[in-house]
Structure 1
Amino acid sequence: MRIANTVSDSIVDGPGLRFTVFTQGCPHHCPGCHNPDTHDPAGGHEVTVEALARRMAGNPLTDGLTLSGGEPFLQAEDCAALARLAHERGLNVWTYTGYTYERLLEGELPGALALLEQTDVLVDGPFLLSEKSYEALFRGSANQRLIDVKQSRAAGHVVLWSRPDPLAHFTVPES
């Protein structure tokens, strides 16, 4: 698998403490991309899925795996294998992509359906500089969607992910 980098303790690539893999190679070349060094498919370095899994397992406080880029769907089969190992550890998996969910469902990209099957939340769509937003939760631009993949597949249409209310299980005693 060709990657640009990893971050062992990200708090911006999804909820909780995340192991983030920045894949190498991206066909989108979005103007204003915050990772332009990941565009060249010949850049970065090679690493095995197993080596990444060992690094991911190195922090017992990790809540999830984030696959970012570059474009993870260019290496969908390797990313799906890593995501499967993350799920075996009880981690959730977020995948960022410049493709839309609908395009990925068409199955034209090799391994895309396998990676979707292993993705809990898909952040889809190209980064649009005209819609750049610091207030778009876990996204670079407002056009991008946070899609709950399992609920979307079950419903047959896009179901957006909503952040769980951390106080939902608390009750206030009546006086």
Structure 2
Amino acid sequence: MRNRSILPLLLAALVVLALVALGGTGLLGQQTERTTPETGASRTATPGGAATSAAAKQSPPRRSANPSSLPEIREAALPAEGRRVLGLIREGGPFQYSQDDQVFGNFEQVLPVRNRGYYREYTVPTPGEPDRGARRIVAGDGGEKYYTSDHYATFKYIAEGS
């Protein structure tokens, strides 16, 4: 008789363990949001355990604090080509140039110093330029993005969503 009273407790424990194993899914299957350490991208876990990128939902970007001492530029103040590239970064591409989405070394150390591989760079086309031009967006794994119009000599932190 005593073994039967333990069975419901064991089943309840298994359910709790299964929910914990799903990682981002909370009790009762509510959605929780977390940031992936690899990309800094926000991902939402669903009750089925599948994760979808926040960019895929097309929600406006959250404005985060400037993690640098660099001046800011509002997203709306970027050149049109920069806003287009910013949208492509949020969507994961495709990018126009083979050099895009490659590691940016930060050799000039204008950006906050991070481990190699933290930053990735993207070309912002310059109308009338025969090559890639000097404009770039550099994105950090923490989600922060910086704009340079002078090929890495100076940067501005991009205040997204503004």
Instruction: Give the TM-score taking structure 2 as reference length.
Output: 0.24
Greater RCO (CA < 8 Å, at least 6 residues apart): 2
Instruction: Give the TM-score taking structure 1 as reference length.
Output: 0.23
Greater gyration radius: 2
